[in-house]
Copies of this chain bind each other. A is one copy, B any other.
Amino acid sequence: MSQTPKKSAEQPVPTSTDVARLAGVSRATVSYVLNNTSAVRISEPTRRRVREAAEELGYVPHAAARSLRAGHTRIVLLPTAHIPVGPLYGQFFNELHWALRNLDYTVVQYGSLGLSGDEAARAWAELRPVAVVSLGEITLTARGVSLLKRSGAKAVITMGPQRVEGAHSLVMDQREVGIAAARHLMERGRRRIGAVLPEEPGLELFSKPRLAGLRKAVSGTGARVEPLGMRYDEESAAALAARWRDLDLDAVFAYNDEYAQLLMRALQDAGVDVPGETAVMGADDLLMGKLLRPSLSTVHMELPPGRFLADLVDRLVAHPADRAENHDLMGAHAVPRESS
């Protein structure tokens, strides 16, 4: 067997030097032309030669080299342990992504699996992002924020259940969801409230505060809250429904509308009357909930428009705040429908 000859000769990536050589000018001139530097006048014939050479070679500037020289990037880092699957967050993410792109930022979604807190912050800092928008799946500490800022981040924004020192925190307390749900159910006279906790990993950051909210709202009222594990599949829902009567509950808050729909169906199939025997309540106010019979009571939660967040990033990048501000931005309110 003959050796395979080096196929594509591992052709090197064309650089501005190559363009300069082909166009018969210096690298500086190439840079001027390609960046339309206004401070310098270059003759039209030269411009054309440079552009043609770049085109011919398929030259594309090297972002890393550029930002190394510039001393800063336009990277906005969005850490995501996982993209929350719900349509609510999906939409929010899309909006934010789009809005940042429109402001000419490069959005980097950095999956930080397994990394916790400060480790993650270190990993992010390597990219020298000009801003970090953490959606609360990773718990950022004051140390982490400080590390990021020292490595050049002008804006560190957190959206999560608690403020983080040094960061611009948008406090979105998921407990409010639980509180709104519990209040609504109690107003309807329910006193024995089940709380569905998803058994899928990664949802605790939402489910636990929601449970805490329930507990807080019922404390001292004599009502009680009963945590109930459930997976998002029919078997798990059916198993829970099968032992429903033993649980002796007259209401259930099902974490979100999707779990609520699943459980409500399982309850109905098991002969439990909704809402007569048990009230069911979801959260997130998905369109779906209106379509069910009985229609699903839920908790509506206002997320800021992605556009708002993108503008905030842009403002902070332009004028890094002396002191981080904090906003509480979650209004959660019950949306009563037929299931409760």
Contacts and interface: CB of A to CB of B under 8 A. Distances in A.
Given A97-B111, A109-B107, A113-B102, A83 B83 contact: yes
A60 B97 contact: no
Contacts of A91: 85
A7 B322 CA distance: 7
Contact of A261 (B97, B128, B265, B291): B291
B111 A98 contact: yes
Contacts of A68: 62, 64-65, 68
A48 interface: no
B85 A147 contact: no
Given A83-B83, A102-B113, A113-B98, A126 B287 contact: no
Interface string A11-47: 1011000000000000000000000000000000000
A290 B83 CA distance: 25
Contact of A60 (B64, B125, B291): B125
Contact of A150 (B13, B90, B93, B101): B13
Given A60-B122, A63-B126, A234-B290, A13 B80 contact: no
A265 B128 CA distance: 50
A125 B110 CA distance: 19
A106 interface: yes
Given A83-B97, A94-B85, A113-B102, A126 B232 contact: no
Contact of A97 (B80, B93, B232, B234): B80
A109 to B, nearest CB: 4
A116 interface: no
Copies of this chain, count: 2
A293 B265 CA distance: 10
A270 B7 CA distance: 66
Contact of A63 (B97, B107, B128, B261): B128
Nearest to A77: B108
Given A14-B150, A60-B126, A83-B90, A108 B108 contact: yes
Nearest to A61: B126
Interface of A: 7, 11, 13-14, 58, 60-65, 67-68, 73, 80, 82-83, 85, 87, 90-91, 93-94, 97-98, 100-102, 106-113, 122, 125-128, 146-147, 150-152, 232-234, 258, 261-262, 265, 287-288, 290-291, 293, 322
Leading 8 A-B pairs by shortest Cβ distance: A64-B64, A60-B125, A63-B126, A265-B291, A101-B111, A109-B109, A82-B94, A97-B111
